[in-house]
Amino acid sequence: MSFQVCPVDDAVDWPELGRCLHTSYTLPTPEPMFRFFRPVFDDSPEGIARVIERGTAALKSMHESATNSLWYKVVDNDTGRIIAGACFRIFHGKPFDHEEEKVHAAWPVGGQRDFVTAAGRIKEAPHKTLFNRPHVFVNVIFTHPDYRKKGMAGLLLEKGISKARDLNYPMWLDSFPLARRTYESYGFHTASSGEIDIQPSRPNGVDPDEWKRAENYLLPLKFWPMWRPADGPYVEELILIASRSR
Ligand SMILES: CC(C)(COP(=O)(O)OP(=O)(O)OC[C@H]1O[C@@H](n2cnc3c(N)ncnc32)[C@H](O)[C@@H]1OP(=O)(O)O)[C@@H](O)C(=O)NCCC(=O)NCCS
């Protein structure tokens, strides 16, 4: 077997890349943080196909409108199939100073969307504290279940690490459970926040049944903010002091 890593070809790759991404985040078991961004309310084949199509269109449009987004794919040279992919985003300055709250339009308006909005605030909080400085962000990374534990995520991470090295920027990501050990072996460290277990409290006036429905679908929702220093040892205090002085 041989593989190659190359930039995504915007003209042709998106449908296949989008299917690979969805399969990777949902099989063998769905990753709850992925369902947060991409809920499936109709799990018929047609319903799932619609979710993949909309999700892929959203990623493509985000990529096309951003100037800081780098997408890579891994191709199996024997079959020509896309079997893994990653998106890195390059942030300069203090990127989250004026970040607006995200609208989670895939969720129905009401108690479910209220839950996801409140959960989103907890999820985004480290952006404004720990990570509000120049960095390379690992936005998405996935390997098709048939090709795991062969070093594909490593090949992709090397691309982001090389970009960060060129810029002398640290890297940051939100790790889901499956990926933590891999990130550690590439020099990432869990930030001082440790594990973030997203459990928002229901505000007064929000429909309790709809709120509960979203909770039952999504929880537990856990992630680990992780850093990789630009160079030298990982000392979070130094990273934060450097961040404040920029
Ligand atoms: C997390 C994920 C991207 C890892 O992809 P992968 O291609 O299997 O990753 P790698 O092969 O580079 O590394 C995985 C493990 O295989 C090991 N490995 C790498 N090459 C290997 C080889 N040739 N033989 C045996 N093991 C190998 C690595 O050392 C690593 O071990 P570790 O978990 O004990 O550290 C994949 O599981 C995935 O897509 N998960 C769902 C989506 C997701 O959670 N993405 C991360 C979001 S933060």
- The DSSP line for 10-22 is TTTSHHHHHHHHH
Helix ranges (H only) for 40-110 are 45-65
Q: Whose CA is nearest to atom 43 of ligand 1?
A: 142
Q: Of 173, 55, 202, 188, which is closest to residue 115 (Cα–Cα)?
A: 202
Report the residue among 148, 171, 183 best suited for mutation to probe ligand 1: largest number of ligand atoms under 8 A from its CB. Answer: 148
CA distance 114 to 119: 9
The string of pLDDT tens digits covering residues 25-40 is: 999 999 989 999 999 9
Structure confidence by residue, pLDDT tens digits, 69-109: 999 999 999 999 999 999 999 999 999 888 888 889 999 99
Q: CA–CA separation, 155 vs 178, rounded Å?
A: 17
Q: Are strands 69-76 and 82-91 parallel, antiparallel or unpaired?
A: antiparallel
> Shortest CA distance to 85 belongs to which of 75, 95, 99?
75
Pocket test for ligand 1, best of 1, 76, 149 (most atoms within 8 A of CB): 149
CB 239 within 8 A of CB 233: no
Q: Which of 25-34, 160-169, 193-202, 233-242 shows the lowest per-residue confidence on average (mean pLDDT)?
A: 233-242
Question: By C-alpha distance, which of 9, 149, 160 is closest to 80?
Answer: 9
244 has a pLDDT exceeding 60: no
- Both tokens of 69, joined, read 């987004």
Could you tell me the domains of the chain? 3-245 (3.40.630.30)
Q: CA-CA distance, 24 to 178, in Å (whole number)?
A: 11
DSSP codes joined into one string, 61-80: HHHHH-SSEEEEEEEETTT-
Q: What is the structure's pLDDT at 5?
A: 97
